[in-house]
Each structure stands twice: as C-alpha cells, then as structure tokens.
Amino acid sequence: MPSYKVKVKWGKEKFEDVECNMDEPPVLFKAQMFALSGVEPDRQKVMLKGAVLKDDDWGNLKIKDGTLFLMMGSAGELPTEPREKPKFVEDMSETQLASALSLPAGLNNLGNTCYMNATVQCLHSVPELRDALKRYQGRPADASNPAASITASLKDLFDTLEKTSQDLPPIVLLHFMHLAFPRFAEKSEHGGFQQQDANECWTEMVRVLQQQVPLTAAADGTLVAAASPPAFMDHYFGGKLESVLKCVECDEEQPTTSNEDFFQLSCFISQDVKYLHTGLKSRMEENITKMSSVLGRDAEYHKTSQICRLPGYLTIQFVRFFYKEKGAINAKILKDVKFTMMLDVFDLCTPELQQKLIPLRTRFKEQEDKQLELTAIKKDKSEVKEETMEVDKVEKKTRSEPYSFEDDVGSNNSGYYELRAVLTHKGRSSSSGHYVAWVRKSKSEWTMFDDDNVSAVSEEDILKLSGGGDWHTAYVLLYGPRILEVEEE
C-alpha cells in the first residue's frame, strides 16, 4: 500500500502533511499524532467519515493525499488496568518486597522489537548520556528529519523510564526508526515485523546520537566553549586506533601510519579464541593484500593497530554471525568465549597512551595494596588492636576521582573498565531468536530486561552468558570507566 500526506483536525488545531503509511499498522500513525499533540494512542479516537480507526487494521478506509481525519482525545495520563492481579505488600517476602520496590520499568514488545528494546535499555545505563539528552531541545514531530525525531523520542523515553515503574510502549521511537531505516520496518510473510540484528540497531542509534547530541558540558559541569560544540558520542563512546602498514614483500617501501575512529571494537571468534581479551588482541594484527606503489602489483602487507584514544564507555561486539549460503541466513557461532567484569586494555594501547595511563593506574595499585594489607591485618586477630577496630567502624567519606584526562572530556585515563551492560541473543540466526538486555544496578546486583519482563539477577548469572549453547549469549558488551574512590581528608 502507498504512503500519503494527510490532514488531522484536533479541536481547534489542524495538523498538515502528516505521513500516513498504510504499510504499517495504524498504531504507528497514532504514534505520530501522540508526538504532535501529546494525546497518548490509548486516548485517541481517530475518525474518517464516521469510521473509527483501529490499532491494527486500516479496514476499508479510502485514503489519499489531503484526506482529512478527525481526532478526539485529551492529553494526560490514562490509568490502565493491571495485566496481573495485584500482590499486596503484606503478602510479599523481604526479597520480593525489595525487588518490587526497586525494579525499573520495562519496554513492551511491539512485534519482534526486542532488538530495539534491548539496545535502549543498555544505552539508558549510561548516566552521562541521560544527562546529555535532558539538555537536548528537539521534539519528535518532524518526519522530514528522522534523526532529530529519533533523538527527541529517545530523550522522552529516557525521561519517562526514570519517572515510572510501569512498562512502556516505545511506539514513537519505533515509528521514527522505521522512517529513518526502512529495513527495520520489513514485514514477514505472516504480516508482522521481521526480527532485526540488535547490533545494527545499536550502530545506527549511536550514529544518530553522534549527529544530534552536542557536547554542551564537560564532566565537571562547565560549558564547552566552542562555536560548534563537538559531538557527545565522539567523546564518551568514540576511540581512535593508530595503524602501521608494512609491505612484507618489499623492504624499500616505507611503512605508513594512519589513524581510524571507532565506536566499537570487534572480537572475532576463531578456534583459538577462548577469552575476550585474546579475541581483541588477535584483531590488532592482520595480513591484508593491496596494491604496492613500489612493486606495481598487489602485495601482502602486515597491519598492526594500537589504541591511541580510549573512550569513557567502550563497546565490544562479539562477531557471532556469518552468512551461510545454505539457507541464506546469518548463522550463529555458539562457541563459549569468556569475558570478565573488569577489563584492562593497557596492552592494546600505544606506548604514548600507556605513559599517560600510568599515573592513575599507580594510584589504583596503591589502593589495592593498602586494602590487601588491611584485610591481612583483620584476619590475624592476634595483631588487631582495639583502637584499630574502632577506627574501622567509623564510616569514612570518599570522593570519586575523574576518569577522564583534563584536556579530553569523556576519555578513559586508566585503561581500566567495569562491565555495565550486556546485550544477549538467544537463537541460531540474527534474523530470528530473541534479544535481552542485562544492566548493572550496583556492585554485585544486575537487572535483566526481557522486554517488559524485568527481574533481578546476580553477577554469576551474567558470567553464564559467555556462550556454548542455546542459552542467552553475549553479543554486545558495554564497559564503563572504573572509578577510583579516595578518602576525603
């Protein structure tokens, strides 16, 4: 079915050139009206010549360019009947009570949209991104600028996630994702949306945010002085690689050095790769074939890469899918590849960057040595003095040291990272199966976001996501900066 530009009359207001794509369910048309009017889809009554528009079927409505719809409904919150029978506080155990009071909101699956829901929940775990989006001024009402509308929709969704524990339908965000990236709106032979690759969604969402969200404030809250502020994502999510290319067939040809920006590091999975760090390191050296200007023909080159700029938030993708001609699908590599809660990438960095990382790494080491010494003293009760025990009981105030270099907002100044979120896939191909987000809540507590099914999980549950079978398997890892906490004097 075609797409039309229609008009919608709502009270005294009239909206022109509203896109009406009849290849999509009417609920997405209502999502546009929600963005324009503030009237939630559940409160909208959209009519055409007396016929009421349904959520899932256009019926026999005859639509063309300029068709005038009438919409009724008022903006505001609409209470909804709970899908599950309420469980009263007095009937809950202590564990259930703590869990019920602290679990965040989930996102409704709108038909094979778990790939987008998981991506959103992982990105929502970054506090600096949440703060940057709060300052974003755009509104999700311009179909001619989907990138701006996606960013504004994500901002609104993040804001609502922080204000409610009720599950949310990300209708507006999905609508503008479909406008910007039509492949995400592809339908299956049964009429519903096809499953999509979560890492493709992650990549596109990061690119959109890179275009739209400026770096308006530094880590300490001071404004960045620039006529055209740099991109937030470039600073907090973007790193740089320095690569040296040497021809192995011609000693006379001088090596060439180049720099390359990245938003993700890739962990390629081969027979020898059993650990994440091994997969990352093996990718830093590779042989390629290219034209040699000295030899005048294709020759073999050895490429060595090192990181010369570390972002505060490091994204790593396990390259688990490969195209399989038989069946024409992106088949999945199920191999078990271990990852850690703490990641150290010091040995992947250039010597120049390593020198810059050493000062804070030394402070981390001193703090760890001091903690080990105190632990040893406590274990040896015969040497514990009464006054030492009293000091231990006093709660000491601490402060967080900056994790970025002073002259590089959003960078990582130690090379140490802590796992913040995991996006997993369960299934045998990227175009099928199911995606789930696992987000760190505290030092040892995690939350699983299986669309609108949200539950508390442990650190041990996260480490079981390394693969090796048909269970949820880590596909994208998001590491955040490890923070040095020091005692205030």
Tens-digit pLDDT profile for residues 4-18: 888 999 888 888 888
DSSP string, 121-175: HHHHT-HHHHHHHHT----TT-TT-HHHHHHHHHHHHHHHHTT--S-B--HHHHH
> In order of start, what are the domains of the chain with their CATH numbers?
3-72 (3.10.20.90), 112-238 (3.90.70.10), 260-300+314-346+411-487 (3.90.70.10)
Question: Has residue 350 got a pLDDT over 80?
Answer: yes
The answer to which of 146-150, 231-235, 285-289, 372-376 has the lowest mean pLDDT is 372-376
Beta bridge partners of 300: 289
Quote the pLDDT of residue 434.
Answer: 95
Question: Has residue 462 got a pLDDT over 90?
Answer: yes
Quote the pLDDT of residue 489.
Answer: 67
Residue 426's nearest CA partner among 416, 418, 436 is 436
Average pLDDT, rounded, for the chain: 86
Residue 141's nearest CA partner among 176, 110, 107, 171 is 176
d(CA 160, CA 142): 21
The answer to which of 25-39, 48-62, 78-92, 126-140 has the lowest mean pLDDT is 78-92
Average pLDDT over residues 351-370: 95
Q: How confident is the model at residue 100 (pLDDT cuts 50, 70, 90)?
A: low
Average pLDDT over residues 177-197: 88
Known catalytic residue: 114? yes
Q: Are 273 and 279 in contact (CB under 8 A)?
A: yes
Question: Has residue 246 got a pLDDT over 50?
Answer: yes
Residue 451's nearest CA partner among 108, 103, 105, 112 is 108
**Predicted TM-score of the model (pTM):** 0.79
Tens-digit pLDDT profile for residues 395-442: 678 899 999 999 999 999 999 999 999 999 998 877 778 999 999 998
Tens-digit pLDDT profile for residues 273-287: 999 999 999 989 989
Quote the pLDDT of residue 35.
Answer: 72
Q: How confident is the model at residue 142 (pLDDT cuts 50, 70, 90)?
A: low
Question: Has residue 223 got a pLDDT over 80?
Answer: no
Q: How confident is the model at residue 387 (pLDDT cuts 50, 70, 90)?
A: very low
Quote the pLDDT of residue 97.
Answer: 47
User: Which residue out of 277, 302, 308, 434 is catalytically annotated?
Assistant: 434
Structure tokens that stand for 33 in this block: 């009206």
DSSP string, 445-481: EEEEEETTEEEEEEHHHHHGGG-SSSS-EEEEEEEEE
Known catalytic residue: 20? no
d(CA 271, CA 203): 27
User: Which residue out of 114, 201, 247, 349 is catalytically annotated?
Assistant: 114
Tens-digit pLDDT profile for residues 463-472: 999 998 888 9
Single-letter residue type at 427: G
Quote the pLDDT of residue 228.
Answer: 60
Average pLDDT over residues 122-137: 94
Average pLDDT over residues 212-232: 65
Residue 454's nearest CA partner among 163, 128, 135, 104 is 104
Quote the pLDDT of residue 134.
Answer: 93
Question: Has residue 219 got a pLDDT over 50?
Answer: no
